[in-house]
Structure 1
Amino acid sequence: MPYPQAPWTLHGYAIQTLHLVNIDQVRPLIPLELEIISVWPGKTLASVYLSNYGSGSVLEYSELIVVPALVNYQRKIGAWISHIYVDNADSVAGGREIWGLPKELAEFTWEQGKYVNVHQENRKLCSLKYNQQSLAWRQRLSVSSFSAKDADLLIFPAEFESVLGLIGSKLEIPAESSFSGMGLGQPWLTVRCEQMSLQVDAPKVVGQSILDFRF
């Protein structure tokens, strides 16, 4: 299946929620080689990221990324992605074969400035209601994420530039969702990203993982 080689450059908009979750609850989702970073006693930082990449992107698609924890490996800090869904088969293939990400197909319904729903066949994964941002500022960031492919533990950087705004939101994760057991609850912070440009670079091998449990 054809897909572009890394780096991938993507343009569009996104909403990201941040949550405090119990480390013990999300530990089974994360390779033992990765140390979970505690941001509060017994708690780590989790996230749900919903995006739509449109004109000017290497591929056009919507995406749902679930991050159960902020992690550390040999003084490298990043996010561990446990669940990731898109509505483009080429993105699924590229995500799995380039980055070792467990991408699956899902259906996305967007009502700009109001809500997004994500389904996989007859199963609802999540829905997020949100409002328009008022105060906003332009921001550039560099972030890293970990993944695993075969026996290799990988890390890959992403360069991000966007107009950011803090917004209100309500996240619903039904019991049948594949990530309902993470205990995400309602976000303590939600950020809306407009005029977003994202470059995701090729991964580098940083170690070996004794578990290749996600495919």
Structure 2
Amino acid sequence: MTVKYPPVPWYLQGRAIQILNLVNIENSRPFVPPELEIVSLFPGKTLGGTYISTYESGSILEYNELIVVAALVRYQGKIGAWISHIYVDNEDSVAGGREIWGLPKEMAEFTWEKDSVSVRQQERQLCRVRYKKEWFSFATWWQQPFSGNVFGGLESELLLFKSELKSQLGIVSGNLEIPQESSFARLNLGQPWLILNCQNLELVAGIPKVVGTKFFQENPRGVSF
């Protein structure tokens, strides 16, 4: 079966849970290509986290997605996120993510419930997020636009693209469970710094540009960068 995917940019809309973590740089380093400098926010700490979304009607493709950011990185003066793991439940999205942006997309299964979402790969649990209502009355929804750089590259080319997001945001309490069998357990993301509930989300994944060349190394999952 021929897998087809839409051209860039991709316009997506739906909702998401964004979890931010202060990650130990020593945990991130094995997941990041050596060409990229890990940006330190505090001594020994970088910014990382997980993003779980469902893109619904009105999107260029409809699918669920789990993104794992291992670190905030710098390359030739540009700062962006390094996505070490990414999972979806749409084969067109897998193909597009790999061939357009050089992202290591894999298939997974997503289960959304009222106040939680879990992600599995067949018999292996990748993670589960449980979250509650917003903190206090003043933390109810407000509209916020964001944009940032994202690095990609499955082969020798290092790619950079801009991600633009607009959403109503609420700060929520909750927890992230990552079992030891998860492919990104070694990042130790189980203690969130901040959890955001993103409603009425609009996301644009932009056109990538080649910014450099990547050498190959083996990461802890046995996949070559």
Please indicate the TM-score interval, normalised by the length of the shorter structure. over 0.9
Change in 2 beyond 3 A, CA 1:212/1:5:
farther
Say whether the 8 Å CA contact 1:108–1:116 is kept in structure 2: yes
Which whole-Å CA distance do the structure 2 matches of 1:20 and 1:157 have between them? 22
Match of 2:17 in 1: 15
Asked if 1:152 is matched to 2:157, the reply is yes
Say whether the 8 Å CA contact 2:94–2:106 is kept in structure 1: yes
Which whole-Å CA distance do the structure 2 matches of 1:131 and 1:17 have between them? 13
Match of 1:32 in 2: 34
Secondary structure in 2 aligned to 1:132? Answer: strand
Q: Which runs of 5+ in 2 are unaligned?
A: none
Alpha-carbon shift at residue 121 of structure 1 (Å): 0.4
Alpha-carbon shift at residue 71 of structure 1 (Å): 0.5
Match of 1:195 in 2: 200
1:171-186 correspondence runs (5 A): 171-186=176-191
Say whether the 8 Å CA contact 1:138–1:164 is kept in structure 2: yes
1:1-215 correspondence runs (5 A): 1-112=3-114, 114-133=115-134, 135-211=140-216, 214=223
- Number of corresponding residues: 214
Q: Give the letter for the 1:35 counterpart.
A: E
Secondary structure in 2 aligned to 1:210? Answer: coil
Say what the alpha-carbon RMSD is for the aligned residues.
Answer: 1.2
Say whether the 8 Å CA contact 1:123–1:176 is kept in structure 2: yes
TM-score, normalised by the number of residues in structure 2:
0.92
Identity, % of aligned pairs? 56
Change in 2 beyond 3 A, CA 1:122/1:149:
closer
Alpha-carbon shift at residue 132 of structure 1 (Å): 2.9
Say whether the 8 Å CA contact 1:148–1:212 is kept in structure 2: no
Residue deviations 1:146-190, cap 9 Å, x none? 011421100010111110111011100001100011111210111
Secondary structure in 2 aligned to 1:202? Answer: coil
Residue deviations 1:106-133, cap 9 Å, x none? 0000014x00010100000000001233
Alpha-carbon shift at residue 20 of structure 1 (Å): 1.1
Q: Which runs of 5+ in 1 are unaligned?
A: none
Which whole-Å CA distance do the structure 1 matches of 2:109 and 2:188 have between them? 23
Which whole-Å CA distance do the structure 2 matches of 1:20 and 1:212 have between them? 25
TM-score, normalised by the number of residues in structure 1:
0.96
Change in 2 beyond 3 A, CA 1:149/1:53:
same
Residue deviations 1:18-59, cap 9 Å, x none? 111110121010011100000110111111100000010011
Q: Give the letter for the 1:80 counterpart.
A: W
Say whether the 8 Å CA contact 1:70–1:77 is kept in structure 2: yes
